[in-house]
Structure 1
């Protein structure tokens, strides 16, 4: 199996597995604070990994022309996307949310084709259509038909759109150190959302809940 494909599958598996755990935490703290702490967990964990790997902190090596792409990815993928997901999880089951998160891959591909003019393979198009159809059917069976019942899934779909934008922006800096990019996203986005939540009056959770949240974020 191609190494890039393998790591993509592992990343998707870990992300999907973390969603039900995030759902469990969603009832214990405000969505914005939860989003911030999850990303802080990722940023802190990956920063320590990078320090150990490189025997200290080294320059990122990211060219100045690529910083706008990375900052845009942080905004959409690290700040807006997680907040939308956490709000969505407050009124969506963990299983439904995990299914709907498949939309991220579809929206990423559509945006790559339409905006960045990448080639579209017929098999990929058919596969994406099957993912969308399956997700909608399975999510529909678990949701109320009222407008309020679809607010949660709509927010999860919005999060997927934000991450699709993030993926396409990150692709512009993909030649740089992947660990640095992920750690930078986690630290900046996590700090922004956590500070915003605390500024709005949220309270930090108890130590065990805090550690559990950071660990789930690292996944």
Structure 2
């Protein structure tokens, strides 16, 4: 199910590239960025209120003080800087070229995860990183497409990679709440910057369209991606989510009528091979789990074998504080929230 979450998130986010390019005819980059995130956060807030999640709870773990640095970090990186860089880049380059260069997010996410957050790399990862880099260089160094805008697109990829890793640290919390905070906080800051730089209130039609695009491409997409991160970790969820530039490029050809040349096709193939390498990865070895107590939604499995009272559910997903006893075992695993350990 985690793979479906990640791929669905990729498709919904990919819609923001060609549709965002179209909306740039009526909106400035900062205005569009702000409206997309406000649409994402505001739409999720409306969903939470109308669905009754606010009253009955969502069966998810609450925020703690230790989560605040991660929440602040991914809000600034992914909610303010990344979309501002992306839409600035889109304003200076073609939508299809930007879509493929966004594959750098996959590599940046994995590099940060491996170097700073103890996720496993391996030969598949490093080869995939090389292929994506080669594809990005083949694309961006073409005189016809190597515009300054692609630098901003690459910077947006780096910011979203940092966002992915910080979000993965709190992926056990309620993803709807995370999306609300990120969307409303990031969107509000960006909206202030837009007005400060001379922006004006847009016409009703592009305003509504931008909010709707934000709800689908930034709000719902983020919730699905966070659900995937719980089981796959930042780097692997990022690998599955990394298909969105291909979808974005295809949508750009269909929606905007942009054309592909041989260099674009070569970059497409290289990046496709990289995604395939990461998607086919297997990883298993003997590893240790240290004792830990935390709160999150879970089912009972080999990592959650604790005993409940007679009234507590054992087979349904449920949330409560629980203790993981120290254990050493061997099985295939992803770098999820329970498998962030050192590798030789």
Same fold at TM > 0.5: yes
Structure 1: which 5+ residue stretches go unaligned? Answer: none
Q: 1:107 offset after TM fit, Å?
A: 0.3
Q: 1:129 offset after TM fit, Å?
A: 2.4
| Moved beyond 6 Å, runs of 4+ | none
Q: 1:143 offset after TM fit, Å?
A: 3.4
Larger Rg: 2
CA contact 1:107–1:164 (8 Å) conserved in 2: yes
CA contact 2:140–2:147 (8 Å) conserved in 1: no
CA contact 1:27–1:90 (8 Å) conserved in 2: no
Greater percentage in strand: 2
More deviation in 203-212 or 191-200?
191-200
Q: Secondary structure at the match of 1:203?
A: coil
Q: 1:205 offset after TM fit, Å?
A: 1.0
Specify the alignment match of 2:82 in structure 1: 81
Residue 201 (structure 1) aligned with residue 202 (structure 2): no
Structure 2: which 5+ residue stretches go unaligned? Answer: 218-344
Q: Secondary structure at the match of 2:120?
A: coil
Superposed CA deviations along residues 82-139 of structure 1, whole A, max 9, x for unmatched, are 1111111111111011111111111000011111232112223222322332233244
More deviation in 169-178 or 44-53?
44-53
Task: Count the aligned residue pairs.
Answer: 213
What TM-score, normalized to structure 1? 0.90
Of residues 171, 183, 202, the one that matches 1:186 is 183
Could you say what the CA RMSD is over the residues aligned between the two structures, in angstroms?
1.9
What TM-score, normalized to structure 2? 0.58
Residue 118 to residue 55, structure 1, CA distance change in 2 (3 Å): closer
Of residues 11, 14, 22, the one that matches 2:12 is 14
Counterparts of residues 6-155 of structure 1 (less than 5 Å): 6-56=4-54, 61-141=62-142, 143-144=144-145, 149-155=146-152
Q: Secondary structure at the match of 1:49?
A: helix
Q: Which has the higher contact order (CA 8 A, sep 6+)?
A: 1
Q: 1:78 offset after TM fit, Å?
A: 0.4
Q: 1:153 offset after TM fit, Å?
A: 0.4
Residue 160 (structure 1) aligned with residue 157 (structure 2): yes
